[in-house]
Structure 1
């Protein structure tokens, strides 16, 4: 029997109380359910000696379990070696406490397949765990799955202790021309010279077209594509060659109490990528990885827009992220959109960015109805909160040395490739240490719209930077920034409400407003401005009537 549950019924009562500020509005969903019958991999000859390759035994156990109507495939305690595996419907792969499953470090054990990578149709090495068009699939338990990512990763000399670097070079592989990057094979290095390596095109449409760069096309750890009712619970995934847990074009996804551990400089090792998925719960997870942690995606550029499958209707709560490029992230491959996502009670420690929303021209897509609350951050390298429409592009409006004025950034025509960020709300946020507290950077032709932040204490070097935005509302926010000239910068933006703002007592300038052609209806209210040497500074050509400053 399938279990039919409202997603709200999965929530504990204390969490419901905390969520009253942003009522969770999600559709009912089905969850996984399995027969009690258990199939052991040892029944098919698997040996836990850390030496025997058990790929055949693992696969036979999975296939037999599915053919018999489904159930649990048990991986008992022990050290098990295997190559890549294909999952089946109605199978719960249960990795028991004390079990270590070591995937093959022989790149030749993996075959190239047609799949999707970073939002585009592509050829990659097959995932370590793979399935498509499946129903009712789970990976559970308290054991460890190790992806042997070191067999695939590039390594940078500057980020490697000298002794380890010498040992790595001596072990084989190849170096680039500058001798500052090590690659596991010549194929791996060759892939760096190919634009959009692995992407399927009219000129390169067959798997054989990519054989010469096979080793560069690193596999994801687990991909479940076009599947229904998925559960990932309890297990530890570590050392992934690329993205780790990657449900794609799937429905009713539950990710509970998993751990993902990838090294700090391991390339593209996202922890969790929910790509074009509908409906689910992520809770109680711990992540420390070399790229983004909890990431929402939906395809890239025209292919993503044609796919037209937003990631939507998710609750993400009670997760902890240590090292990562971003704690909770949307983008940059978000061309199919993202909406109706709730993020609650999460902690980010030592991530490059905390809450990270990224896109760029050409993506298209709409990100909206995102609700985040009770977010705590510490030692953030860049922005605590970032909304950026110039991902991977040079700053469009750099300030000239010695000048506070931002040069003009020309608008481009709005078309299907113009992305949109709108209707996103945050409350109860703290950050102890960041370069910038909050940065909002839209496009001249498409402002970032309808963003609110309420009840926040943000300690950082810089406070607020708001560029090309419309209807931004900040209430009861403490910008405890060390750079206080200005604490708050608003450029080319309109309908900005800053209410009950706190700031350092030694501030030189509290608020600077610039962009005479666009800036209007900027309000700083219910804020004691007397602690700043200058409450308001206007940029070139600005008129006073565009800004209202009042302690009421």
Structure 2
């Protein structure tokens, strides 16, 4: 791939090596090595660049700042361990690029601003000591409370992160904001130590590849965001295994700049290995497998999702156009309602999932357009009693300004797919069923124009007096009842 070749060629084949021990770093896990590591990086950058090596051992540190043309290499057996003293993580200056999260200031273990040709490589571990990272009471609450990220790169170009293990961040594990030409490959993330423990956040970035990685997180897993005016665009996510107590692969919730040209393929979503209680009391097997969301303005278009396996999760697929209309800065205009169109999802298998039902929903007067699902399988657990789910679509609240997540509805009045305020939707070549009987109609459509449902196969328990398709204000439907469906 051209991106990989370009990025790998920017660092010299035999870089000059700067070992942090030569600058006074001590691997005892107690000595704070912030000054020594930063001196090694500064010296390396001043000499034109090279490789700063963290050798085997545990090196405690506060914020280290990566500079242009420097590769931070964590050798096998090395651990970069975050200090738990807030004084070791000074608040970084406000960057030129403004976004939603910067009003709380920026805090990170590994930080870079407007750097070029930088990398983090090796088989060592970055450990954020997250369970011991406490919020600063002088700052804002929530995710603006000063807990450090493991990695925070802002407005950087030519970024490579390969091979490293990441653990226990104080907040989001990795946050790449307004970056370009970003290659992340063969990383392994386990992040279950604090609130807001996302696995990775790609935010307002261009030309990005995330590949061959394993991510297990308490909060969202692989997350695309747009917390400022820049869109997240030209992104490939492939060959990853993702587990999350929240949403495994997600675009949102912040959507100011929108999302364009996103390709997600060859990924497995499965339950987390963690035995701990989820921080936010979310389902242990996760909320969603795939979430696509526009709620703060912006446009989502040109999304392809292919070859995805989802095991567990309450909701396999959640596509949502809302109108939370959150401004990314106080002095900017309130964003208008965004748009979502041109989304293709194929070769998706979801099994042993919960009963939330997948959904494609917008708000009155605004429509999601051009969504195609093809060659997909959905098998839920079923077994609901009549009082376990919303009985009719008229009771499904719009909630256009709410947080976009299927937990607001829980068990919808459909077992397979709920569609509302949409145009040009197709479901072609699908199999579905429930492990135990589910008395809900599989598909409910409300305020939909041009709906094609064809070539379905039902392989669940026999149903009694249940319609396959329930429609309200649906124009131009072409709906074929699936093979195997019956009303005994």
Pick the TM interval, shorter chain.
0.7 to 0.9
For residues 132-143 of structure 1, the aligned pairs below 5 Å read: 132-143=113-124
State the partner residue of 2:309.
Answer: 376
State the partner residue of 2:56.
Answer: 77
| Conserved 8 A contact 1:124-1:218 | no
1:494 match: secondary structure: strand
* Deviation of 1:430 (Å): 0.7
* Deviation of 1:385 (Å): 0.5
Q: Does 1:506 align with 2:462?
A: yes
State the partner residue of 2:261.
Answer: 340
State the partner residue of 2:166.
Answer: 237
- The match for 2:155 among 214, 226, 235 is 226
* Deviation of 1:478 (Å): 1.2
Distance in 1, matches of 2:164 and 2:86, equals: 24
State the partner residue of 2:41.
Answer: 62
Q: Does 1:261 align with 2:261?
A: no
2:254 match: secondary structure: coil
Q: Does 1:99 align with 2:78?
A: yes
State the partner residue of 2:242.
Answer: 321
* Deviation of 1:270 (Å): 1.2
State the partner residue of 2:404.
Answer: none
1:43 match: secondary structure: helix
- The match for 1:148 among 125, 129, 141 is 129
Give a deviation string over 1:160-212, Cα, whole Å, max 9, x none.
xxxxxxxxxxxxxxxxxxxxxxxx77x28x854xxx885xxxxxxxxxxxxxx
| Conserved 8 A contact 2:371-2:424 | yes
* Deviation of 1:152 (Å): 2.8
State the partner residue of 2:233.
Answer: 312
Distance in 2, matches of 1:79 and 1:220, equals: 19
| Conserved 8 A contact 2:306-2:347 | yes
For residues 192-203 of structure 1, the aligned pairs below 5 Å read: 192=141
| Conserved 8 A contact 1:335-1:365 | yes
State the partner residue of 2:252.
Answer: 331
Q: Does 1:521 align with 2:456?
A: no
* Deviation of 1:252 (Å): 0.3
- The match for 2:10 among 33, 37, 42 is 33
Structure number with bigger Rg: 1
* Deviation of 1:356 (Å): 0.6
* Deviation of 1:121 (Å): 3.8
Give a deviation string over 1:293-327, Cα, whole Å, max 9, x none.
1111112xxxx3xx2x2111121110001224112
Distance in 2, matches of 1:369 and 1:119, equals: 25
Distance in 2, matches of 1:483 and 1:391, equals: 32
* Deviation of 1:437 (Å): 4.4
2:43 match: secondary structure: helix
Assess, with a 3 A threshold, how the Cα gap between structure 1 residues 104 and 261 changes in structure 2: closer, same or farther.
same
| Conserved 8 A contact 1:312-1:341 | yes
For residues 175-186 of structure 1, the aligned pairs below 5 Å read: none
1:150 match: secondary structure: helix
| Conserved 8 A contact 1:432-1:458 | yes
State the partner residue of 1:452.
Answer: 372
Give a deviation string over 1:32-86, Cα, whole Å, max 9, x none.
5323211100110111122221111100111111110101111111111111111
Unaligned runs of 5+ in 1: 11-28, 154-183, 199-215, 394-414, 535-552
1:56 match: secondary structure: helix
* Deviation of 1:119 (Å): 3.0
Aligned residues: 424
* Deviation of 1:527 (Å): 3.3
* TM-score (normalised: structure 1): 0.72
Distance in 1, matches of 2:264 and 2:181, equals: 17
